[in-house]
Amino acid sequence: MFVEVDGAWRLLDEPSAFEMTPGGCRWLYRHAGGLLAVAAWAATDCHELGLTVDVVEGEPVRLLVTSHLALGGDDGAEPKPARITRDGDAVVVHAVPDTDVGWRFPEGWFRIDPEEGTAIERVGGDELLFTDGRSRNQPYVVIVTGPARRAAFRGGDAIAVAVRVA
């Protein structure tokens, strides 16, 4: 994940503090402009993952959230771009043909839903990671949010099992 600080994207790298519980973890990032809290969790009663970013101190921020996808039993090493569409506010990642997942689940997909109040400015693949805007055919889904004090995403049971047959 990257955060926009002073007009430039900064990678959230080593946190100022880290907390882990049986259901999730939280990272705190102190920077010159304030403090961010990033939390990731997994539900214990259903197949759901979540990610939240809160501005604890400072001005609203834009986020560039990336997810490196393992699309075919390759741990994400194969140069195959993700197939991404939108369903309303949701981001839908489809199984890629000619991969292990694509052969087993040709109609498979999972979705990432922003929670209320999370504004998405752009969605794409790895092209959003490079200043020249050109894809390197890497398996990434990238979400750029609008400036906010909070951004949150949830993925239903489809994420926990990697694909869901539609």
What is the per-residue pLDDT across 51-99, written as a single tens digit (0 to 9) for each? 999 999 999 999 999 988 877 666 667 777 888 999 999 999 888 888 8
Q: Which amino acid is at 75?
A: D
In the prediction, which pLDDT does 142 show? 95
Q: What is the pLDDT of residue 120?
A: 96
The predicted structure's pLDDT at residue 97: 84
pLDDT at 161: 30
Token pair 């805007």 is found at 133
Write the burial class of residue 103 (CB in 10 Å: 0-12 exposed, 13-18 middle, 19+ buried): exposed
Domain housing 68: 2-165
Report phi then psi at 25, rounded to 5. -150, 165
Task: Provide the pLDDT for residue 101.
Answer: 80
Question: Please, are residues 51 and 153 in contact by the beta-carbon 8 Å criterion?
Answer: yes
Residues in the chain with pLDDT < 50?
157-166
Q: What is the pLDDT of residue 44?
A: 80
Q: Report d(CA 68, CA 75) in Å as an integer.
A: 9
The model's pTM: 0.86
Tally of structural domains, the chain: 1
Cα angle value 49/10/39 (rounded, 5°): 25
| 164 touches 95 (CB < 8 A) | no
